[in-house]
Chains A and B, each alone.
Chain A
Amino acid sequence: MNKSSRFYHFINKEKNVGVIFCLPFIIGFLVFLIVPMGISLYYSFCDYDILSPPEFVGLKNYIEMFTQDEVFWHSVKATFYFALVSVPLRLIFALLVAMILVRPTKATGFYRAAYYLPSIIGGSVAVAILWKRMFAPDGVINSLLGLIGIETNFAWLSDTRTAIWTLIILAIWQFGSSMLIFLSALKQIPKELYEAADVDGANKFTKFFKVTLPLLTPTIFFNLVMQIINGFLAFTQSLIITQGKPMDTTLFYAVYMYQQSFNFNQAGYASAMAWVMLLLIAVITFILFMTKRFWVYEQE
């Protein structure tokens, strides 16, 4: 057996192939992720202010977080509220729009661009100002309400009940990424299945529930997992638009963590917060994966 054929044999061996394909991630994980993650885990057991070297303090940060920090709980509450409300709404909206825009017409490309556009501007300063102006007492939202007969000077961003809803609406407005994923999944559904359903005399609703929805479940699951992770880690919107105001009702977990790290010089505490968040999301994701076999359609 010569060298090249031995190499050929090695790389084609069933158990090696997978590792070879995954090599980029294995390298990336070892070189770029595991080191910083490890350091941050270590920091979480330290008193660390970034400017001077960390000092090991054991579980102090974790204990303080759960027992003494009221603001921490405010941020947990705001984050849960935001994630649990915005994620389902965003997904439903994205799916609806994707269903509508999958229909091929001459204007489809244009429509898609138009609906995707809001997601493009992301979390820039421009969005922050835009949003603040829209929901200001003299903003366009109140003008619109005036058109339908509700004259009001309500300051949406300053009310403890409505402020977080402005962020939720922003999240829904930027539904483009989920919509695109749904669109590409809808495209993947074989036309033959619909033709077969037509032969069986199925109407639109039956087709949706018997063909489209089951075949979309893997994508719905994917979007759900990703959006849950994104929802709990939401950061920019709160940081640039509300900074947690009013009274911590929009203080997202990641924002409070960032403040602790860079404004209050408690990077150790912030790291502990980060790892608690990782644990929390991991548990939620794990539960989601457990439910997968009950509702996600698998090919095999």
Chain B
Amino acid sequence: MKKKFFKKAAVLAIAGAMAVTSLTACGGSKDEGGKEGDSNSLTMAWWGNQVRNERTQQALDAYKEESGVTVSGQFYQWGDYWSKMATSAAGKKMPDVIQMDMSYIKQYVDKGQLLDLTPYIEDGTLDTTNISEDVVNMGKVGEGIYGIASGTSASCMFYNKTLLDELGITIEDNMTLDEFIDISKQVYEETGYRSNLYHYGLYMEMYARANDIQATDKLGGDSADDYLPYFETLETGIKEGWQISPSQAADTDSVEEDPMVYGSNPDNMTWCTINGSAQLTAYQTAAPEGTEIALTTIPTSDPQKSNYVKPAMYFSVSADTANPEEAVKLLNYLTNSEDAYNILLAERGVPASTAISEAIMDKLSPAEQENANFVNNVIAPNSSPMPPFAVEGSTEAQDLLRKLEEKVKYGEYTAQQAADEYFTEANKMLQGE
């Protein structure tokens, strides 16, 4: 009885395996055939969450109605997205339209993976009349324009407004670092809640800009001494207790696990954190009921120098696309179509086109409106130009920075040691040694 069962199973298995081989081989070739000949279909890839996936696909469906071009969307989680893009780029199979980020665009341009949009802007295929020159230039790498900003955003500091209100503290925008430290000490002493300024290595950019030592293809400044105050502030913060350390709560890039919104008691929670302003909605959703989250500028010695308006992300076109004309038309739709933005709203930052952002303003949620107001009316009037694009070694340098911050937080390194190592090692990484 049993023997028969397994004999049958084995025969079935072998037959099945053969069937699969022929079946899938067919599928593969069919797929390829479709891609070559069809000028009415495009592919587009992005990273993001459920809301973005939903809205983008809807906008793409609407585009099909309008133009007859089918756009199939592919979406991944942030980290996976970049592995996928790099691998497809190696195989010259990148999707036609791709969502790009400030920290990656230069590498992709340098390696010849993106299409220069300048000719299409000149002939009007990509209409930029409603976009300010500053915003158009956000996509400028070297001589060409390789991406069109989907919208604008800014780095900011989020804080627990409910808590500060109870203490009678009001946060003014463009607060300086000294003011921030005073507040931090006060909050810590009175409630036990700490601050989270040194978080995921995000603060360095702001510090460097405020002190005129912004990184280019190497670190700014002449010596490690230029970075010493950065680590000293961190060291003091840990010593005095107002800066949170990993032994109280893990340093994370996830909004929901951020100690500002998650924790069991003040000892392992913070009253502030730094991140991108578009995350206001996410923080508000994640915060416990009755806690109001607000946003302000990141405190530095000179906020006017450190503040800047940045592209939330870009839309770019792959250099390998079989159909550049159609791909750019899709870009144009994603930039200038009011219909599209009635669906997309401010999901990818405050829309780059001023006409669009005015038209949809009323439809935005209160948090999205607050963010738009913050970028347009708080950051923009009191800011400096965008930093140069990240070079190839900067991810590694950023990783090093995170580790050095960690070592200082654990007391493993003194501020001096961290500054020394950062200056020599990060410089090597940025210069590709």
The digit string for B58-91, where 1 denotes a CB below 8 A from any CB of A, is 0000000000000000000000001100110110
Among residues of A, the one whose C-beta sits closest to the C-beta of B428 is A68
Known A247-B410, A262-B82; contact A51-B111, beta-carbon cutoff 8 A: yes
**Roughly how many angstroms separate A298 CA and B108 CA in the complex, as a whole number?**
57
Let me know if B412 is at the binding interface, CB within 8 A: yes
Using CB atoms, name the residue of chain A closest to B394: A264
Stretch of A6-14, A89-97, A153-161, A223-231 on the interface side:
A153-161
**CB-CB contacts of B392-420 with A at 8 A, as 1s and 0s?**
11011001000100110010100000000
- Determine how close the nearest CB of chain A comes to the CB of B197; give it in whole angstroms: 19
Task: Please state if A158 and B90 are interface contacts (CB–CB under 8 Å).
Answer: no
Choose among A51, A52, A155, A265 the residue that contacts B247 (Cβ–Cβ < 8 A).
Answer: A155
A50 interface hit (Cβ, 8 Å): yes
**Chain B residue with Cβ nearest A48:** B90
Q: Is the CB of B89 within 8 A of A50?
A: yes
Name the distance in Å between B192's Cβ and chain A's nearest Cβ: 13
CA distance A215 to B331 in the complex (A): 67
Give the number of residues in A that approach B within 8 Å (Cβ atoms): 23
Minimum CB distance partner of A52 in chain B: B111
Flag if A137 contacts B395 (CB, 8 Å). no
Specify which chain B residues have a CB less than 8 angstroms from the CB of A52 in the assembled complex. 111-112
**Is B240's CB within 8 Å of the partner chain A?**
no
Min Cβ gap B248→A in Å is: 7
* Contact partners of A50 in chain B: CB under 8 A: 86-87, 89-90
- Complex Cα–Cα for A247 and B405 (A): 10
* B279 adjacent to chain A (CB < 8 Å): no
Nearest A residue to B425 via CB reads: A70
Partner among B83, B113, B250, B403 whose Cβ is within 8 Å of the Cβ of A158 = B250
**Contact yes or no, A247 B407, CB < 8 A:** yes
B246-289: which residues lie under 8 A (CB-CB) from chain A? 246-251, 257, 263-265, 267-268
Q: Does B107 contact A (CB under 8 A)?
A: yes
Q: How far is the CA of A132 from the CA of B259 in the complex (A)?
A: 14
A245 at the interface (CB under 8 A from B): yes
Query: How many whole Å from B6's CB to the nearest CB in chain A?
Result: 15
A245 touches B267 (CB 8 A): no
Partner of B410, one of A49, A246, A263: A246
User: Looking at the complex, which one of B393, B406, B412 makes contact with A245 (CB distance below 8 Å)?
Assistant: B406
Nearest-neighbour CB distance to chain B for A230, whole angstroms, equals 22
Report A260 CB to chain B, min CB distance, Å: 9
A51 touches B250 (CB 8 A): no
Q: Which of A155, A159, A259 is most buried by chain B, counting CB atoms within 10 A of its CB?
A: A155
Residues from 105 to 124 in B contacting A, C-beta threshold 8 Å = 107-108, 111-113
Are A51 and B246 within 8 A (Cβ)? Answer: no
The 4 closest A-B pairs by CB, nearest first: A138-B264, A51-B111, A158-B246, A264-B396
Q: Which residues of A contact B (CB under 8 A)?
A: 49-52, 132, 136-138, 153, 155, 157-160, 245-248, 259, 262-265
21 contacts between A and B (CB under 8 A): A49-B107, A49-B111, A51-B107, A52-B111, A52-B112, A137-B264, A137-B268, A138-B265, A155-B247, A155-B250, A245-B246, A245-B406, A246-B406, A246-B410, A247-B403, A247-B406, A247-B412, A248-B403, A262-B83, A263-B399, A265-B395
Given contact pairs A49-B107, A138-B268, enumerate 6 new A-B contacts (beta carbons under 8 Å): A52-B111, A138-B263, A138-B264, A245-B250, A263-B82, A265-B392
